[in-house]
Amino acid sequence: MSLISANELLFKDYSWTSYRGDDPRLTGAPDSTLLNRHEGYEMLYFINRFCERHSWTPPPATKATALKAERLIRQHLPGSVRSRANIDQWLIENWRQYQ
């Protein structure tokens, strides 16, 4: 079950373009695929998966956890961090630095 839905995202400037299943942009392994920070479907999927996969204090993850992940990605994540695996790692390493 998803923590947040499209209408609950903080940022409202997302593009909501869906791709066909055979689109070459989607054929890489999920962790190596680059995340488009301005594509709503990609962000929503990434944020919900990120919150599912990690333990939080206190568990479980909440809507506030998901919205914090969105905010960190959009406002603080360095532009050089682009793959889903690297974004995941950056969030873990920097989570406590931001409110």
Phi and psi angles of residue 21, each rounded to the nearest 5 degrees, phi first: -60, -25
For residue 2, what pLDDT is reported?
84
Cross-strand partners of 83: 34
The answer as to whether 1 is a domain residue is no
Do residues 59 and 10 touch, judged by C-beta distance below 8 A?
no
The answer as to whether 14 is a domain residue is yes
For residue 58, what pLDDT is reported?
66
Structural domain tally of the chain? 1
For residue 9, what pLDDT is reported?
97
Q: Which domain holds residue 75?
A: 6-97
Run means of pLDDT, 10 residues per run, the chain, 99 residues: 92 85 53 87 93 78 94 97 96 94
Report the run of H or E that residue 50 belongs to, with start and end: helix 40-53
The pTM of this model reads: 0.85
For residue 7, what pLDDT is reported?
96
